[in-house]
């Protein structure tokens, strides 16, 4: 009777090992990580209602296809000069969209949604910090972004360039 239990458990273990190896081989051959996004993008134009020297800054933290982001309005001269950015919370959440039919091809669409207080210093009446905004962008092959920020019945089209980051991004409080 004991040899039957040993045969059963031995056979079950062999099947589990074979399945594990098959799944591992498939994953290594067919699944890939998405490309890494630049952590900071700076708009090429000033947001409506803000000074002409201001630029929109989009910070992105990436974990695979899942994204966290933060918006802020910065002086064009030095987008890293605002010390408040180091403690800014990532209030936008979103995903990098995957083409379900061809898993090895990444679409260029990035969507983020959340609340932001980025425009409170501008004379912008279209942004309510208590209502969610939607940031929809397309990532171009040159790593630039084009997209729009929407809230209620208003949207702003923007272009953004990746900002070179020479030092590691500071850890933000959770």
Residue-wise pLDDT tens digits, 147-158: 999 988 788 999
55 vs 50: CA distance, rounded Å? 8
Which is more confidently placed, 139 or 100?
Answer: 139
- Per-residue exposure over 141-153, b if at least 16 CB sit within 10 Å of its own CB, e if not: eeebbebebbbee
Which is more confidently placed, 151 or 76?
Answer: 151
100 vs 102: CA distance, rounded Å? 6
Domain ranges of the chain: 1-31, 40-162
Domain 40-162 = CATH 2.40.128:
yes
Q: What is the pTM of this model?
A: 0.72
How many other β-carbons are positioned within 10 Å of the β-carbon of residue 116? 23
């Amino acid at each position: 009777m004991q040899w039957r239990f040993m045969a059963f458990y031995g056979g079950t273990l062999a099947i589990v090992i074979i399945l594990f190896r098959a799944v591992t081989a498939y994953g290594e051959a067919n699944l890939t990580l998405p490309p890494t996004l630049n952590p900071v993008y700076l708009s090429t134009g000033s947001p409506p209602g803000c000074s002409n020297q201001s630029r929109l800054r989009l910070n992105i933290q990436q974990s695979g296809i899942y994204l966290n982001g933060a918006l802020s309005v910065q002086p064009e001269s030095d987008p890293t000069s605002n010390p408040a950015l180091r403690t800014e919370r990532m209030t936008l959440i979103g995903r990098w969209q995957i083409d379900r039919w061809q898993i090895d091809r990444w679409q260029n669409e990035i969507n983020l949604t959340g609340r932001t207080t980025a425009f409170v210093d501008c004379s912008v009446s279209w942004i309510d910090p208590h209502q969610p905004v939607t940031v929809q962008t397309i990532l171009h092959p040159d790593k630039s972004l084009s997209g729009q920020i929407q809230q209620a019945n208003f949207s702003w089209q923007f272009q953004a360039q990746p900002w070179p980051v020479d030092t590691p991004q500071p850890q933000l409080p959770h």
